[in-house]
Amino acid sequence: MLQKKICMVGAFATGKTSLVSKFVYSIFSEKYQTTVGVKIDKKTINFQGKEVNLILWDLYGEDEFQKVRMSYLRGSSGYLLIADGTRHHTLEKALNLRQRVEETIGKVPCVLVLNKWDLVDEWEIENNEIEQLVQQGWIVMKTSAKTGLNVEEIFQSLTSKILEE
């Protein structure tokens, strides 16, 4: 069986833990859960006839008080870069984090996840910004941990990129 480490990286309160909970346990909670350090879950998926064991490292969110410990990223096959579509500054934080991740572990597969699509009326990230990122070669996906929109798909997409490498 293939085993791949995937990290969840992003600013504070973007929905990293909620996305993992929805993917692994099919659970969404309105209650905010702060991740202290790192929380590790795993889920086995079937990808193109292969069993792939995904080890999911949910890293605490980066804010002005604490920086993501880049040592947590070592050994990652890929990562999900999470931004909250209702807070534009989390996209800027994600773009900065990607640069730091690449400096630490090199270029590994990445999917930019714009979470909280269920709050589309409060959305702050413009479609033209998303289009520019896509034109630069980014894989960008809108999700909602609450409704489950594209949650399975972000992990499938990242797994596909990892197995192409």
pLDDT of 67 strictly over 70: no
**pLDDT tens profile 124-150:** 999 999 999 999 999 999 999 999 999
Tens digit of each residue's pLDDT (9 = 90 or more) over 83-128: 999 999 999 999 999 998 999 999 999 999 999 999 999 999 999 9
Any idea where the domains of the chain sit in the sequence?
A: 2-164
For the chain, the average pLDDT equals: 92
The mean pLDDT of 55-61, rounded to a whole number, is 89
* Nearest CA among 113, 165, 104 for reference residue 138: 113
Question: Taking residues 143-160, what's their average pLDDT?
Answer: 97
Q: Which CATH superfamily is domain 2-164 in?
A: P-loop containing nucleotide triphosphate hydrolases (3.40.50.300)
Residue 35 pLDDT more than 80? Answer: no
Answer whether 13's CB lies under 8 Å from 63's CB: no
148 secondary structure, DSSP code:
-
d(CA 158, CA 29): 24
Q: Are 138 and 81 in contact (CB under 8 A)?
A: no
Q: What are phi and psi of 79, to 5 degrees?
A: -150, 155
Q: Confidence class of residue 32 from pLDDT cuts 50, 70 and 90? A: low
SS (H, E, C) 19-65: HHHHHHHCCCCCCCCCCCCEEEEEEEEEECCEEEEEEEEEECCECCC
- Confidence (pTM): 0.93
